Structures are given as C-alpha cells and as structure tokens.
Amino acid sequence: MLQATNIHKSYGALQVLKGIDLTIQQGEVVSIVGASGAGKSTLLHILGTLDSADQGEVRFSGQLVNNFNSNQLARFRNQHIGFIFQFHNLLPEFTAHENVCLPGFLANTPEDEVKHRAANLLKMLNLGHRLDHKPSEMSGGEQQRTAVARALINSPEIIFADEPSGNLDSANAQELHEIFFRLRAELNQTFVIITHNEQLANMADRKLVMKDGFILS
C-alpha cells in the first residue's frame, strides 16, 4: 500500500537519506531502528508527506504524492494517514473526546458520526471513563492512548509513530504496544513505528535497521 523509491534527502552538505527503497503492505507492522541521527525521523516525515524528498517517489496505493500542493497534501494526510509522536500533542483546553473528534470534523464527516466514532474508539482503548477529561487530568499512558484514538478517527490506511512509547514507563509502554497489535488484529491496521524499545522493535513483522542514510535490512 506504500511504496517509496530511491528517497534522497540532504540538509545542506549533510546527506541524511542516500537512496531508500521501501514497500509496506496493508496490515504490516514495521519497526525502524538505528542510532540517533541515522535519519529515521527524516524518513518517517517524508513517508508521511510532512516533508518532501530531494529525489525519489512516495506512492500510496499507486498514487504518487510528490506533486501534490500543500492543500492537497493536508487533505490527503487528514484522510489517509495517522500520526503518533513521542509527546501526545493533545490540545490542552479540549477534552479527550473533543481532541479525538477534531480531525474528523476537519474531514467534514457528519458531526454525529464523528462523535459516536470518537467515543467508541476511546472506549476500545479503555478510556470510556475519561471522555470528558482534559489532557492535564489524565495519566501519561491515558494521554498517549487518546493520541492513538485521534490517529484512528478517520480510519487511516497507515499510522506512522515516532517513538510512541519513548515518554512512557514500562507498564504503559507495554500496554500501548499491545494496543498496536490488537488494532492490527482487529482492524488490519498498518503501522510504521520508529522505536528505541527493543521489545517493540522485535515484535514487529519486519525490523528495518537504518545506518548512514541507508536501510541495512
């Protein structure tokens, strides 16, 4: 469902990605590991259309996104891609339910449908009792699970996660990792996950090791 070909990216004289080829199938959980500075986040941002490559192509289900303008990209991301970052980036003045609803409203999905779906997702992630809580009224694990629900609200084809459990204690990290695999089992959800957590990296269907701008395996 995702195909990246010959991706190159430099920042000034620094060549960060030197020709990455990568294909991700629907329902796969793929982890990306590698030393700090290896280019993992840069690659994830390019795959997720948050940044553009200097050279190479990114296709989703055959559709080339390289030439999309910024409005087209924003719409494409909102409808097809979910993101989870190390820090949840929830809006502090909104409740968990409102935070999850927001990308659904931006996609112009009918309001009732969005609200119903957001509540169901939060319940599915064991947050049925936290719908009306603001981020500051939730634990770190609950905040991150809310971010997972937000990533799922528009039924994305793929979710990109950058160090999703990097800010969690081991019990919450493990719960989050189990959720990823439950979502794959129940929804055939596709994930590409950058992680320094060895357990998560090894649970994935494929573990990609990045070094010096290339994928080693």
| Smallest separation, CB 175 to ligand ATP (Å) | 23
Phi and psi angles of residue 203, each rounded to the nearest 5 degrees, phi first: -75, -20
* Site residues (vs ligand ATP, CB under 6 A): 11, 14, 16, 34, 36-42
Residue 49 is given by DSSP the state T
| Smallest separation, CB 123 to ligand ATP (Å) | 33
| Smallest separation, CB 69 to ligand ATP (Å) | 21
Of 18 and 75, the one with the shorter C-beta distance to ligand ATP is 18
Q: Which residues pair with 207 in a beta bridge?
A: 31
Of 36 and 136, the one with the shorter C-beta distance to ligand ATP is 36
| Smallest separation, CB 209 to ligand ATP (Å) | 11
| Smallest separation, CB 144 to ligand ATP (Å) | 18
CA distances from 188 to 27, 33, 156, 180 (A): 5, 23, 11, 10
* d(C-alpha 102, C-alpha 123), whole Å: 17
Of 149 and 173, the one with the shorter C-beta distance to ligand ATP is 173
Locate 4 and state its tokens: 């990246």
Count of positions (residues) in the chain: 217
CB 46 within 8 A of CB 24: no
* Residue 201 three-state SS: helix
Of 118 and 193, the one with the shorter C-beta distance to ligand ATP is 193
Provide the CB-side half-sphere exposure for 194 (13 A, CA): 24
